Structure 1
């Protein structure tokens, strides 16, 4: 319990620091939300601008705004969107489902395919297949995520139009839940592949290096001496230990994956938190952007804690 309490206290302190830093960085950045709101109205006088600033509390000193915002966040209130004029938490919950679907589909693809390629490469490290996997991994890791997305749009939008290149659903598709689910899965292929390919390359190289080290260990040699099959040795003994670094890195990289999803969602017009964050930056919608950043920080902290739990389940030595 003391360990759990210490981790919760550390998580709360980290979250507070993230919220404060995000608030300060966003509010000192160039741009006036009141002017953006006025622009949406077609332009207004200075008196109306002053009234807008007063209505949203933008006329208060920065430290007063910060203290008010922290007080609201402590009660679970992330404020109201300047642009949509609805609670920020409602906007986040509305966009959360598509982002989680994209995030975990891309992460699952990266882990499964990366581990599979890493194991195949480690079994015959000097073979032709291993060299081919190495080249594929280097190319996947080197290509920027937005470039990969645009190349896929060109290929599957013009040359081989077999996958949708934007949005999450086709409004012309009607049917039951299965039909709608298949339509979403069809739209998900390119964004999930774009998001997962760069991390797949990393996990492939990491799993290969870990697998090569594990295969040289004493307990693997003992298992071979007992006459166990290669499938049992690799699947039950070697892979279970070789996959630990992949699990650790996957948990720690969640923040990077979330930032990558912003680019992917923007490229493919995926209706998630990334697209909402991008639109909020353009509109100087501070509460929405702060809410997304704070919510993302909570997700990263929780996933890191869950990673520790999974790590303990996979490796009994930690327990």
Structure 2
């Protein structure tokens, strides 16, 4: 297993480099740059392009960036005038808190609903949960977010419209934590609903596949209670394919939800990346995208390793 992990990590290096080159070229050939949007004269624009090395060939620019990235330097944000690494570190944890809580809630909701839906296939309950999951998968997150803002923020004034903390108030300790949770409520509901809708479908499908197996009939023939059969035997085996999904969710925990964060003005990595697009802050965009790439590869690796742990039949060499 250790050799397999080491091999996968080594294979990631050239893949990440190639991916970074492709992403860098896409940004480089995009129309306009940070200097174009500046309200300065032609001479100053030339000086600014030289300052940011934008007058160099694209390939040279990329290798300059790569040289710094290898040393842990992702460059400096054009708009914020701060190291990219510092900016990302400031925002990425805001996304993590929101995504982590949403993920935990969605798992706690999806597993029991998926099990109930599978064990009562084609019943009214199953149909109801299926319709809800289809709505969660189909409805755009921004639309759902705007509905919640209209009802609970604008009309009922129960929750705040935007932000992570109350503007103009300096809170500390538990009061600050409660204030963050208060602002987190609506975006968390949106993400939980959407994530749970997807997981419900996976759990239901996996449970239906397991229930058909011969060992389930054997368990019933032995006189075991239905609850024990479902939750101790069926669910345990049904969760094995879901390990891959949980592993892939690692990247999502840190990379944020762009649309949801923008709708609720949540200061996370998703909103930061969208702002960077509009501001043509390409060093910041490169840093964010490369973190997403690395976390995605690591998530895949974790999923494969976990799959081998929960299923002894899987052997990696």
State TM-score, norm by structure 1. 0.91
Distance (whole Å) between structure 2 residues aligned to residue 16 and residue 249 of structure 1: 25
Equivalent residues of 1:111, 1:246 under 8 A apart: no
| Structure 1 residue aligned with 2:293 | 297
1:112 paired with 2:108, answer yes
Query: Which residues of structure 1 form unaligned runs of 5+?
Result: none
1:211 deviation in Å? 0.7
Q: Are residue 53 (structure 1) and residue 49 (structure 2) matched?
A: yes
Q: Which residue of 2 aligns with 1:71?
A: 67
Report the equivalent of 1:133: 129
- Output the aligned Cα RMSD: 2.0
Shift in Å, 1:178:
2.3
Instruction: Structure 2: give runs of 5+ residues left out of the alignment.
Output: none
Confirm or deny: 8 A CA contact 1:99 1:272 kept in the other structure: yes
Range with greater deviation from structure 2 (45-54 or 227-236)? 227-236
Task: Tell me the equivalent position of 1:28.
Answer: 29
Could you say if the C-alpha distance between residues 180 and 257 of structure 1 is closer, same or farther in structure 2, counting changes exceeding 3 Å? closer
> 1:23-61 CA deviation, whole Å, 9 max, x = no partner?
01111111121122x2xxxx2221111111111111101
For 1:185 and 1:225, how far apart are their aligned partners in 2? 49
The aligned counterpart of 1:188 is: 184
Structure 1 stretches of at least 4 aligned residues deviating more than 4 Å after TM superposition: 172-176, 253-260
Partner of 1:238: 234
2:279 pairs, out of 277, 283, 292, with 283
> Where do residues 5-24 of structure 1 align in structure 2 (5 Å cutoff)?
5-24=6-25
Contact 1:149 1:267 in 2 (8 A): yes
Q: After the TM superposition, which of the residue ranges 205-214 and 165-174 deviates more from structure 2?
A: 165-174
Which SS does the other structure have where 1:86 is aligned?
Answer: coil
CA deviation after TM superposition for structure 1 residue 199, in Å: 2.7
1:2 and 2:3 correspond: yes
Cα 1:269–1:301 change in 2 (3 A) is same
